[in-house]
Amino acid sequence: GAGVSQSPRYKVAKRGQDVALRCDPISGHVSLFWYQQALGQGPEFLTYFQNEAQLDKSGLPSDRFFAERPEGSVSTLKIQRTQQEDSAVYLCASSPRRSEHTGELFFGEGSRLTVL
């Protein structure tokens, strides 16, 4: 596709439910990032993939958060036993390998998670 696609755009979960958020990066983009954006805050780094390898997961807030990118394209962020503090917009971004776009991220529109 032309841009980064995320689904669902909106998700309401009851506390304790598991959720899965999907990201389709721009075709050919090697790098994929997940960010969490709480209301009124800037995006906070969660995890990074280069192809299928998860090279950095230092931002995942707890072991309830899990991300995968098994074939180096689509990625899924899974949150188990959701808590109210997990309510946020989850942003996916991709980046090409080439240095001309060094550090530039292409963002999807985000998945807004509300935990009741």
Partner 1 sequence: AQSVTQLGSHVSVSEGALVLLRCNYSSSVPPYLFWYVQYPNQGLQLLLKYTTGATLVKGINGFEAEFKKSETSFHLTKPSAHMSDAAEYFCAVSSSGGYQKVTFGTGTKLQVIP
**Contact call for residues 54 and 42 (beta carbons, < 8 A):** no
* Sheet strands (E) in the chain: 5-7, 10-13, 19-24, 31-37, 44-50, 53-56, 65-68, 75-79, 88-95, 106-107, 111-115
CB of 81 to partner 1, least distance (A): 27
**Per CB under 8 A, 55 contacts partner 1:** yes
The neighbouring-strand residues paired with 44 are 36
Selected from 26, 108, 113, 115, the binder of partner 1 by CB under 8 A is 108
Within residues 58-87, the interface with partner 1 by CB under 8 A covers none
In this complex, which beta carbon is closest to partner 1, that of residue 57 or of residue 80?
Answer: 57
Count of residues in contact with partner 1, rule CB under 8 A: 26
With contacts defined by CB under 8 A, name the span among 21-29, 30-38, 61-69, 77-85 that binds partner 1.
30-38
